Amino acid sequence: MTFPLVQLGTSDLHVTPICLGTMTFGEQVNETDAHAILDHSLARGVNFIDTAEMYSVPPKAETCGHTETILGNWFAKNPSARQKLVLATKVAGPSRGMPWIRDSQGLSAQDILTSCEGSLRRLQTDVIDLYQIHWPERHVPAFGAVYYDPEKESSKTNIHAQLDALATLVKAGKVRHIGLSNETPYGVHEFVRLAEQHGLPRVVSVQNPYCLINRTYENGLDETCHRLNVALLAYSPLGFGLLTGKYDDCGLLGEGAPKDGRMTKYETMRKQRWGRPESLAAARRYNALALENGMTPPQMALAFCYTKWQVTSTIIGVTSLAQLDADLDAWGTTLSPELLAAIDAIRWDLRDPAQ
């Protein structure tokens, strides 16, 4: 199977429409197995990998930076691999209960510069192809929060100052292009407006959740990105495993629950948006629809992302070679107009429970 290459926004980066996410490396996946997954992904033609300074997940002090270190060790063993890949990583936003990332609550210009140096060192590379702000420095509804509350605003570093710091990295040749993650329409517009006004690097992508149980990207951010030519990197296409069907009969806990499932294994994950009862109920509806149409649940869920005009590349996270092959083999699956209408009918009924 050969994957086409797609342009990442306004950049000169051309990536496969499937990106290998790595946040499980260093927690659910040990280094040996992670390297095997990286080898196989590259052999199958995926040229795009994504990581972050705070990985692995669930985040904790003792594993912060482990994923980048695992990737760096793989690059050291496979020098030619680095030249074949588009490498993306992220600088963490304000603490969000993770004081081990940095002392400050904000995301200062110096934080960005220092974090980039740490990522370059761990990744054992001279340049990061796509450097993203993992979540906004501003107080915004994200990671399950629904409403914007101006009284909770605690911003200390404005967007212009963040862009100036990112420009320093681009000018130094340490970063090729910049992107955002977990952003809002306002944030994307403001980053682009200030970049164009002041001659600073323009964001080329935004990495936001997008899947059957969370389509909030389509509530306005899709128009923003389309008109500004900012690419969507869709994460959690399988809804943290809910859209695989493995929790349909047993729930997230109890008899029959998959012991290796992220939602079963980690209580912190069950407390997030993906662990809501409404999220599992919606996933069960979509999974049943897939089976009724002769597909496996993950095949339909992935095909939904793979075929949507809004998505430039879909980020898949795996813990085994078998999962990797299954996710890649779903490429090329088409969804009929009737099936897409049935998907939309479920969304109209249940909306976006995992937003």
> Does residue 108 contact residue 317 with C-beta atoms inside 8 Å?
no
Q: Tell me which residues are annotated as active site.
A: 55
Angle, helices 31-43/66-77, rounded to nearest 10 degrees: 60
Q: How far is CA 24 from CA 64, 192, 261, 311, in A?
A: 12, 32, 12, 23
Could you give the CA distance from residue 241 to residue 154 in angstroms, rounded to a whole number?
33
For residue 234, which of 247, 257, 215, 250 has the smallest C-alpha distance? 215
The owner of tokens 């919606």 is 282
> Residue 100 and residue 118: Cα distance in Å, rounded?
14
Measured CA distances, 334 to 102, 240, 304, 348 (Å): 45, 23, 8, 22
- Dihedral angle over CA of 84, 49, 134, 235, nearest 10: 140
